[in-house]
Amino acid sequence: MSAVRRLLVVGGSWGGITASQSVLRALELPADAATALVLHRQPIRSALAEVLGRGIGCPVEEAEDKMPLAPGRVYVAPPDYHLLVESGWLSLSTEEPVKYSRPAIDVLLESAADAFGPRLVAVILTGASTDGTDGARAVRRRGGTVIVQDPRTAEQPVMPQSVVTAGLADVVAPLRDLPAVIARAVDRAGASA
């Protein structure tokens, strides 16, 4: 198995399942890339990974503690756990909620920025909180790329608008254009590998 050289992190809240499906179904990533996904949800087990995996050309699975990070896969944060990226693997945490959320997008983005730096592409989708803004700041500080769903195309614009208002978005694009925008950004992130 080859190593993951670049990482895509997708975060969303209200409306995020539909938006994530839309993006992931149309997205083609390089063979050395993996994807980690945080969606705010109730702290009960669900079939989210299975639902998101329908119609996607790669395995989608719920992340487990100390799970090796493998290319060509989508890892979904489990309910009521923060998802973190460490050197070559994923870890889970039951630390306090961040901005009322566990899993929190900020927690994943901050750890992924530390692990991947300029080889990280972060995507903030629809949502009704400001989770993701501090994480986007960490991504930018470490040379990664931040892509935001155009708030006008979001079911709930608060989350993407927060990142835009903070001046942290490298690209703002409507949902329908995000797969192509993301693919280009991940390709560029490979040049930093």
40 in active site: yes
Marked catalytic residue, from 82, 101, 131, 134 = 131
Overall size of the chain counted in residues: 193
CA dist., res. 193 & res. 189, Å (int): 7
Complete edge-to-edge strand list for the sheet that includes strand 120-124? 60-62, 74-76, 33-39, 6-12, 120-124, 145-149, 171-173
Radius of gyration of the chain (CA): 14
Instruction: Exactly one of 20, 40, 106, 134 is catalytic; name it.
Output: 40
Which of 13, 101, 111, 162 is catalytic? The answer is: 13
Which of 94, 161, 155 is closest to 131 using CA atoms?
161
Is 13 one of the annotated active-site residues of the chain? yes
Give the β-pairing of 33-39 and 74-76: parallel
Residue positions annotated with a catalytic role? 13, 40, 131
